[in-house]
Structure 1
Amino acid sequence: MMSSDGGDEDTDAARVREQDNDAARVQEWVEQVGTWFMQQSGWPPIMGRTLAWLMVSDPPEQNPAQIAAAVHASRASLTSALRLLTEARMIQAVTRSGDRSTYYRVAPDAWAAMLRRRLESIASFSDITDEGLGLFPQGARRAERLREAHRVFEWLNVEAEPLLKRWDAVRDTFTPDETPPDAGPAPGAPTADDNRRREGHGE
């Protein structure tokens, strides 16, 4: 018969193995985020890793030493990453009374704010395409490709704001571990029928 002490040791060993496995899976995910941002946004991998760690760290606020240990980064490269992420308004620095360290956490509403900036930046290209269309007579075949680009960015200009308003309407209506419920169109947002009429396909 196994002694009670032996059973406790086996339980402790199993718990340690489980914690190690969890840590390894988190580390793999952190690397995945770093790679995604490198491919999609041109960020150095350390920036994506740092942001990923701050999304799942416990506690949410981490000092540079904690972050460097978690993402296996030198303090020099981490300092640059923290500065760039702060300038991008993805993280923010906080201080604690009686603690000389600076701590970092994901900024409130960082993702919605990033999406808004990205959409506004992309949609603003419509000003440039509009200027380009002014260089040619209306309906000129030479500008056909330019008109197609302009239509896309004009469409994005119209659709982006209602999309963001819809998020604002649902963001506080779900609990942790739930996805946002469908709140329907935001107030003032064009309906599918409105879009079809605008495109000249309405009934």
Structure 2
Amino acid sequence: MNLPETEFVDRMGLIMERLGGTRTMGRLYAWLMICDPPEQSLTDLASKLGVSKTAVSTVARQLELSGMAERVPAATREHRYRMVGGGWDQIMRGRLAIVRQSLDTLDFGLSILGDDQPGQRDRLSDTRKFFAFVLQDSDEMFERWKEYREKPS
């Protein structure tokens, strides 16, 4: 990796860490975005990122399970991975599914609070309103994203 590539990979590691993943996950995903050839073996990935093959294997499987990377067929027994387009879409859909599920929990919370607890009700209601607002346009947002993504650059 040259210096600008290293800086990009390291910056993405910090971003992924801030998003709740691991730094290695962000670094691996970043490298898969810019590497050539796009398919990389675990040995290649470990070497380029300066981490153990075991760590790379674990993170690659996590990226595969999240839909952000995929394992590709190889002539050798060694696993090879590449980035999958649309991975962030899948991550966001998963997060929104959790937000959707939280509405039931928030409704339950509101049901156990009495009218004599206006401060607590207001705080809980505000959270519920925010989550409902976020979900309100999410399906349309994904449709708009699909159209935007398919537009020629």
Residues 1:65 and 2:11 aligned together: no
Question: Structure 2: 5+ residue runs without aligned partners?
Answer: none
Ranked by relative contact order (alpha carbons within 8 Å, sequence separation 6 or more), the top structure is 2
Residues 1:151 and 2:129 aligned together: yes
Cα RMSD over matched residues? 2.0
Query: Residue 73 of structure 2: SS of its match in structure 1?
Result: strand
Taking only the aligned residue pairs, the percentage that are identical comes to 25
Shift of 1:146: 0.9
Q: More helix by proportion, 1 or 2? A: 2
Shift of 1:174: 2.4
Q: How many residues align?
A: 152
Residues 1:120 and 2:97 aligned together: yes
The aligned residue for residue 35 of structure 1 is 14
CA distance in 2, matches of 1:36, 1:99: 33
Shift of 1:149: 0.9
Shift of 1:140: 5.4
CA distance in 2, matches of 1:173, 1:139: 54
Mean Cα displacement is larger for which, 140-149 or 130-139? 130-139
CA distance in 2, matches of 1:174, 1:111: 20
Q: Aligned runs of 1:11-160 on 2, under 5 Å? A: 23-41=2-20, 43-96=21-74, 98-137=75-114, 141-142=118-119, 143-160=121-138
Q: Match for 2:19: what amino acid?
A: Q
Residues 1:171 and 2:149 aligned together: yes
Answer whether contact 1:95 1:101 (CA < 8 A) is retained. no
